[in-house]
């Protein structure tokens, strides 16, 4: 069997096991909580008959094991159940919101790469100079900025005070509405990417083949872009894959803060109202993205760097 096929087979099997484990854990957390969704749904004074009836409707009258069996069976049939609150199929809700989350996630990763990588290169080429210190310190601050705080600050400055962007999502002004949340999500990534690229570049620029390239008389630009940066990007590709996977699952805080109509808001709402099918649906989708992203990254990594063996 070619190594790539057996590698993919193994990774796929692990992916399925990981997903099953995550979803089971989420199920246990959502269902074993000593809370009763019927209380949230029926208000403060339901009759015992109403509670019994609703529990039956929602399968809550069965044992945890029976509910788990019911849940796994549904998942196997591709049915994620119906949201307790929205009274709509969870799959429909996810399908409706995932496009917006994808736009936000891709934009954020785009900003991370577009800003983070050049800053990292610039800092590496000016090692121990003022620019390097500024970028490194700024990166540390960026990594330490909580999303909620960073998002609010951006909203206050660019939305409220300067009025350049809408304060929160505005239908019909999607691109303008996208900038601030994408930037909020990208702050940490920009900081991380610039630090990684800086570190890699500093190391690579001292390698023999770089010296050879310089000795051949190649321009500095060609050396940096063609030889050094290409190799420095390998860990960034890993990060992009993982970040994209994580962000596609929905950015809870950013989407809530900016009224972005994506999966993250659905996740927040489902947790607050103990909407178990929706909690599990969003967890399943988020973990599926991370697992798939891991898989893709592993394969890409091997393709980009022939030194990596498919073992």
User: Which lies closer to other proteins via its Cβ, residue 36 or residue 298?
Assistant: 36
In angstroms, the CA 280 to CA 169 distance is: 26
Neighbouring C-beta atoms of residue 162, cutoff 10 Å: 9
User: Which lies closer to other proteins via its Cβ, residue 150 or residue 241?
Assistant: 150
Among 27, 71, 165, 169, interactor with other proteins by CB under 8 A: 169
Binding to other proteins by residue 294, rule CB under 8 A?
no
Binding to other proteins by residue 304, rule CB under 8 A?
no
Q: Smallest distance from the beta carbon of 35 to other proteins, in angstroms?
A: 4
205-234: burial string, b at 16+ Cβ within 10 Å, e else: beeeebeebeeeeeeeeebbeebbbebbbe
Structure tokens at 121: 């290169």
Binding to other proteins by residue 160, rule CB under 8 A?
yes
Binding to other proteins by residue 257, rule CB under 8 A?
yes
Q: Are 85 and 273 in contact (CB under 8 A)?
A: yes
Contact pattern from residue 4 through residue 33 relative to other proteins, giving x for each residue in contact according to CB under 8 A and a dash for the rest: -----------------------------x
Among 157, 225, 303, 308, interactor with other proteins by CB under 8 A: 157
User: Which lies closer to other proteins via its Cβ, residue 128 or residue 206?
Assistant: 128
Q: Are 281 and 81 in contact (CB under 8 A)?
A: yes
Among 156, 207, 211, 225, interactor with other proteins by CB under 8 A: 156
DSSP 8-state assignment for residue 82: B
User: Which lies closer to other proteins via its Cβ, residue 92 or residue 211?
Assistant: 92
Contact pattern from residue 41 through residue 60 relative to other proteins, giving x for each residue in contact according to CB under 8 A and a dash for the rest: xxxxxxxxxxx-xx------
Among 27, 81, 109, 150, interactor with other proteins by CB under 8 A: 150
Phi, psi of 82 (to 5 degrees): -120, 135
Q: Which residues on adjacent β-strands are paired with residue 89?
A: 82
* Closest among 112, 124, 143, 300 to 223, alpha carbons compared: 124
């Amino acid at each position: 069997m070619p190594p790539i096929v057996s590698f993919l087979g193994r990774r796929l099997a692990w992916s399925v096991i990981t997903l099953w484990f995550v979803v089971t854990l989420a199920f246990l957390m959502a269902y074993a909580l000593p809370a009763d969704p019927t209380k949230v749904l029926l208000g403060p004074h339901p009759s015992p008959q109403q509670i019994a009836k609703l529990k039956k409707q929602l399968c809550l009258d069965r044992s945890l094991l029976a509910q788990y069996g019911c849940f796994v069976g549904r998942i196997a049939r591709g049915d994620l159940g119906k949201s307790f609150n929205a009274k709509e199929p969870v799959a429909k809700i996810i399908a409706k919101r995932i496009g917006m989350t994808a736009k936000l996630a891709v934009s954020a990763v785009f900003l991370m790469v577009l800003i983070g990588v050049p800053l990292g290169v610039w800092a590496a080429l000016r090692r121990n100079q003022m620019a390097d210190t500024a970028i490194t310190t700024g990166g540390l601050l960026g990594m330490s900025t909580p999303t909620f705080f960073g998002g609010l600050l951006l909203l206050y400055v660019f939305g409220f005070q300067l009025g350049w962007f809408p304060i929160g999502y505005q239908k019909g002004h999607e691109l303008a509405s996208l900038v601030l949340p994408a930037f909020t999500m990208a702050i940490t990534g920009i900081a991380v990417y610039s630090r990684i690229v800086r570190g890699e570049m500093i190391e690579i620029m001292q390698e023999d083949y770089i010296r050879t390239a310089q000795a051949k008389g190649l321009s500095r630009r060609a050396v940096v872009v063609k030889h050094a940066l290409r190799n420095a990007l390998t860990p960034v590709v890993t990060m992009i894959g993982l970040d994209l996977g994580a962000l596609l699952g929905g950015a809870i805080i950013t989407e809530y803060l900016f009224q972005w109509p994506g999966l993250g808001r659905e996740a927040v709402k489902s947790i607050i109202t103990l909407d178990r099918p929706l909690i599990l649906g969003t967890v399943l989708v988020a973990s599926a993205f991370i697992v798939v992203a891991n898989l893709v990254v592993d394969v890409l990594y091997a393709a980009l760097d022939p030194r990596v063996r498919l073992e």
